[in-house]
Structure formats: structure tokens, C-alpha cells
């Protein structure tokens, strides 16, 4: 008899956590965009053209008057020709992503709606997290309470136990490194005190790539954690 993981699911926790981070980061982008007022985008970050994609605008969420260190930059994309309006929309949609991720992501159409909200957030100045973390969160949402047979057949019991035991630590590192990257992008602290702008750019790119690797690793540990929990549930069921 197949026993679903209902009381606790690492897959569910990860989908919600990544979704919450997407929502928070989107709202943070929106707040900085609001500070730039009801003005149209005129310059693009990182030497790009403002209409690089052929539609919409490549913008800096953090305007020159609100930089907390000389290289502060949060590139984003928006289809709205006003920093104020795009910022308000980013805050609103980011909040919806946060609430949906916390309370509704495991529902029947939870993953589809999360995906839709992430795309909308990206289009209204929410930055890159809705595309990167958002897509992974959506994928995790599709696997909540789904069969984990593939992991049981492809990974030995000993390896499953070892990798599964790493999940809580991997999840913590995933959250902390994500927050660190945003903290450095906004405040530059403490690295901007002794690194130049080019070095800071390399640092932020390195942290971004490392964050992606950690998230992927955490996906694996979450699946194997739930696989182990499922095995224990079946064993307890048989004993009863």
C-alpha cells in the first residue's frame, strides 16, 4: 500500500522556502523601484541597451540616488514604463508569491499558479529570482507527495541515508547564501570596503553561481530525505 508523506515533506518545505525567497526578493526590488518615483527608464545597467530584448526595459532596481555603495546594482526587466508603477506591481505580486508559497503551493493547481505568478513578477521588475529560484520552486511543487520510486531504484540505501541526512544543513546554507548575495548587492558590506567595483562584480557572479549549485544539491537531498521518510512510513505501517 502506498503511503504519502503528509505530516512533513522536505520537498514541500523547499518549494515553499524558495517561493518565499522569490517573493521577498521581488518585493525588495519593488521598494527600490518605487523610490525612483514616477519616471521612465532611460539607462540600462551593465552596459546593456535599455531595449536589449526588443520589448520592455532593462533597468536597475536601485537608482543612483539610493546606492548604498558605488556599485550597487540590481538589474531587472519590466514591461512597465514607470519605476513607480513597476515597483508597486513588484511589491504586490511578490507578496502574492510569498503567500501562495506558504499556504497553497501543494494544492491541485499550486505549481501552475506559482509558475504564473513568478513569470508576472519577472515582467514587472522582480529581478532574476522569479526565473531562477522560481522555476526550481515550481518544479519542486510539482513533486510534492508524488512517487519517489526512481530515487529508491537509482540510489543505494546507504547513499540515500548519507545524502538525506545532509538535507537540513543544505537547506540552511541555501537560504543563507541567497540572503548573503542580496545583502552584498544592496549594502556591499563588508566586501566593498576592500574590493573594487570589478572585483565586487566577480564576487556577486560567483555567489550567484554557487547559490544555483547549492539549490540543485538541496533538491537532491530533499528528494532523498523524503524517500527515506517514505521508507520508514511503510515500515511502521507494516509493523502496525
Count how many domains the chain has.
1
User: Taking the model in full, what pTM does it have?
Assistant: 0.89
pLDDT averaged over the chain? 89
Question: What whole-number distance in Å separates Cα of residue 84 and Cα of residue 37?
Answer: 5
Q: Is residue 157 part of a domain?
A: yes
Q: How confident is the model at residue 110 (pLDDT cuts 50, 70, 90)?
A: very high
Q: Is residue 1 part of a domain?
A: no
Q: Is residue 5 part of a domain?
A: no
Q: Is residue 19 part of a domain?
A: yes
> What range does the domain containing 173 cover?
10-239
What mean pLDDT do residues 17-23 have?
Answer: 97
Question: What whole-number distance in Å separates Cα of residue 133 and Cα of residue 131?
Answer: 6
Show Cβ contacts of residue 114 under 8 Å, excluding neighbours closer than 6 positions: 15, 19, 97, 100, 101, 105, 134, 137, 138, 141
Q: Is residue 43 part of a domain?
A: yes
Q: Is residue 215 part of a domain?
A: yes
Q: Is residue 96 part of a domain?
A: yes
Closest Cα to residue 168, out of 1, 46, 13, 7? 13
Encode pLDDT of 111-131 as tens digits.
Answer: 999 999 999 999 999 999 999
Q: Is residue 73 part of a domain?
A: yes
What 3-state class would DSSP assign to 77?
strand
Encode pLDDT of 26-81 as tens digits.
Answer: 999 999 999 999 999 887 777 777 876 678 899 999 998 999 988 887 999 999 99
Amino acid at each position: 500500500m502506498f503511503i504519502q508523506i503528509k505530516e512533513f515533506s522536505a520537498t514541500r518545505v523547499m518549494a515553499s522556502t524558495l517561493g518565499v525567497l522569490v517573493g521577498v526578493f521581488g518585493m525588495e526590488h519593488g521598494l527600490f523601484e518605487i523610490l525612483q518615483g514616477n519616471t521612465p527608464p532611460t539607462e540600462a545597467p551593465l552596459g546593456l541597451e535599455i531595449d536589449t530584448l526588443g520589448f520592455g526595459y532593462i533597468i536597475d532596481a536601485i537608482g543612483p540616488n539610493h546606492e548604498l555603495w558605488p556599485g550597487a546594482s540590481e538589474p531587472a526587466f519590466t514591461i512597465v514604463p514607470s519605476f513607480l508603477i513597476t515597483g508597486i506591481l513588484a511589491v504586490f505580486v511578490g507578496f502574492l508569491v510569498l503567500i501562495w508559497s506558504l499556504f497553497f503551493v501543494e494544492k491541485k493547481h499550486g505549481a501552475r499558479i506559482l509558475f504564473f505568478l513568478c513569470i508576472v513578477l519577472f515582467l514587472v521588475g522582480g529581478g532574476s529570482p522569479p526565473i531562477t529560484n522560481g522555476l526550481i520552486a515550481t518544479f519542486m511543487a510539482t513533486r510534492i507527495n508524488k512517487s519517489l520510486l526512481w530515487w529508491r531504484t537509482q540510489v543505494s540505501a546507504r547513499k540515500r541515508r548519507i545524502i538525506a541526512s545532509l538535507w537540513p544543513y543544505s537547506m540552511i546554507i541555501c537560504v543563507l547564501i541567497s540572503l548573503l548575495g542580496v545583502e552584498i548587492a544592496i549594502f556591499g558590506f563588508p566586501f566593498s570596503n576592500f574590493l573594487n567595483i570589478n572585483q565586487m562584480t566577480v564576487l556577486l557572479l560567483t555567489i550567484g553561481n554557487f547559490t544555483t549549485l547549492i539549490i540543485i544539491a538541496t533538491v537532491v537531498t530533499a528528494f532523498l530525505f523524503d524517500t527515506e521518510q517514505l521508507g520508514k512510513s511503510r515500515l511502521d505501517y507494516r509493523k502496525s
